[in-house]
Amino acid sequence: MKRLLFFFILVVTLYGCNNNSPLFYRYVFTDSIAVTASRTVDLADYGVLKSFDLIRYKGWTFFREVQSTHNVIKAVNPDFSKSVGLLNIGNGPTDLSRYSDFFINNDSLFIMDPNLRKILSVEIQNDSIVVKPYRLFNGMATTFIPIGNQHFFAIDLMDSVFFRIVDFDNNVYYRYPLPYDESLSVLDNWAQLTFYSKSKFTTSPSDGKIAFAVTDMGMYGFGRIHSNDSVSFFKIINYYTLTDFDLKEGYVVPCDSNIDNVLASTSSDDFVFFLHSGNERSKTFQSVFSHRILIYTWDGDPYKILTFNDNLNLESIRYDAGRNVLYGIAFNPECQYVEIDLNSIL
């Protein structure tokens, strides 16, 4: 009877379904594989002492350095033989605040600074890097995710919605309300916004698909982008309430006691990857801390968990479609560049 009840909870939907109230599911993973990093590089050799974000562009790898006010962007060339320091903290045309982010759109690299509301373009010319002012963004956003040529997802704590779709001039094309969650219904609107503002979004390389994870909640959502002006989520998964069941070894259920349990997200055209840091439940109810990557299909189905033989303390991940590798930053204890080859895994 207990097993039947457990199975029922895993598959029964919790809420009704419409465009803004998708079905809620509870799943657990059944397939786990331990992997070893295919490449590690000590970044201190390149002047990168503490970075939590990176991106590869035309073979170069760009890092955002958080312990410096000078050369806050470090770029390492394709064969990791030299590094170049770029940009400073300041108010000049190509200066940044400490709140910048990278994104690639239409095969071009940009640096978005939501605090200064400006976007810089990055060009690689022969063996040198040129950074130029691109344009201003006339709105407010703490998270900024490009879709198409001119439209963006923008998360703004003052707007009382999950996110908006806007253009550079902050013309609003769509607002998506906060996903309803019973456990958060006792919180006021500002407290709920604070939870959802820390979500990690990813869009498929060929566009048209979107996924998110809410950092402190064990909530994962999967949906579609419609004509760059609206979004619908067809599946949202809640894990954090499943803490009272006897789970076999290898199953993972993120639980609500974790702090910052989703650190990053990225995706290929076939899979979504969430970097998860926190506790996992075993059948003895022991709370085991580890870093792992949760892999889903774009249908929102749990596919596989990657754990690490060398106990990598990953802080970020991105996907390189050309080489089919995940790459990111780890601390062991110093800052490292790490690659995970997926060719024998997916």
The answer to whether residue 81 is domain-embedded is: yes
Closest CA to 99 of 53, 153, 55: 53
* Mean pLDDT score, 89-94: 92
Dist. CA 298–CA 341, nearest whole Å: 20
What SS3 class is residue 8?
Answer: helix
What's the CATH number where 237 sits? 2.120.10.30
Confidence of residue 190 (pLDDT cuts 50, 70, 90): confident
Listed in sequence order, the residues at least 6 apart from 2 whose beta carbon sits closer than 8 Å to its beta carbon are: none
Confidence of residue 24 (pLDDT cuts 50, 70, 90): low
Dist. CA 279–CA 295, nearest whole Å: 17
Confidence of residue 311 (pLDDT cuts 50, 70, 90): confident
* Mean pLDDT score, 186-199: 83
Closest CA to 14 of 1, 3, 27: 27
* Structural domain of 197: 2-341
Confidence of residue 239 (pLDDT cuts 50, 70, 90): low
Whether 45 has a pLDDT exceeding 80, the answer reads yes
Residue predicted with more confidence, 261 or 304: 304
The answer to whether residue 346 is domain-embedded is: no
The whole-chain average pLDDT of the chain stands at: 81
Report how many domains make up the chain.
1
Q: Under a CB-based contact definition with an 8 Å cutoff, are residues 217 and 195 in contact?
A: yes
Confidence of residue 168 (pLDDT cuts 50, 70, 90): confident
The answer to whether residue 105 is domain-embedded is: yes
The answer to whether residue 42 is domain-embedded is: yes
pTM of this structure: 0.85
Closest CA to 306 of 338, 336, 335: 338
The answer to whether residue 174 is domain-embedded is: yes
The answer to whether residue 165 is domain-embedded is: yes
Strands laid side by side in the 143-147 sheet: 143-147, 151-155, 163-166, 172-176
pLDDT value, residue 10: 36
The answer to whether residue 176 is domain-embedded is: yes
- pLDDT tens-digit readout, 277-298: 765 554 444 555 668 898 999 9
The answer to whether residue 51 is domain-embedded is: yes
Which tokens hold the place of 20? 């803004």
* Mean pLDDT score, 106-113: 90
